[in-house]
């Protein structure tokens, strides 16, 4: 049994540092969108109209189907939801 420790789940399951960073950003955006959508108490159909996507797309987001979303799509959805996305870049530890 391997008792190796990882900084995040993505470090453990993704193959490259680039994939790890991409998944971290995507998961953070998805969680922020899900939290925002839940707070609005709108139906998925209403949210879809506001975000300019289909209701099944909102359902996929709410179910955490991260593999179906790229960074561009998530940033666009966040902006349409009225969220401000910031990015910080720093040297790797």
Domains, in order of start, for the chain: 20-80 (1.10.260.40)
**Mean pLDDT across 25-39:** 96
Determine contact, residues 74/30, Cβ cutoff 8 Å: yes
What percent of the chain stands above pLDDT 90? Answer: 67
Residue 12 pLDDT greater than 60, yes or no: no
SS3 (DSSP) at 92: coil
- Give CA separation, 53 vs 9, 11, 58, 84, 86, in Å: 29, 31, 7, 19, 22
What pLDDT shows up at residue 55? 97
Residue 79 pLDDT greater than 90, yes or no: yes
Determine contact, residues 5/16, Cβ cutoff 8 Å: no
Residue 48 pLDDT greater than 80, yes or no: yes
């Amino acid at each position: 049994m391997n008792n190796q420790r990882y900084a995040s789940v993505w470090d453990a399951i993704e193959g490259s540092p680039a994939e790890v960073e991409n998944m971290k950003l995507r998961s953070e955006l998805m969680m922020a969108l899900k939290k925002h959508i839940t707070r609005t108490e709108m139906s998925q159909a209403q949210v879809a109209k506001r975000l300019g996507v289909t209701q099944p797309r909102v359902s996929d987001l709410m179910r955490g189907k991260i593999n179906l979303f790229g960074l561009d799509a998530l940033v666009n959805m966040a902006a349409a939801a009225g969220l401000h996305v910031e990015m910080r870049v720093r040297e790797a530890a």
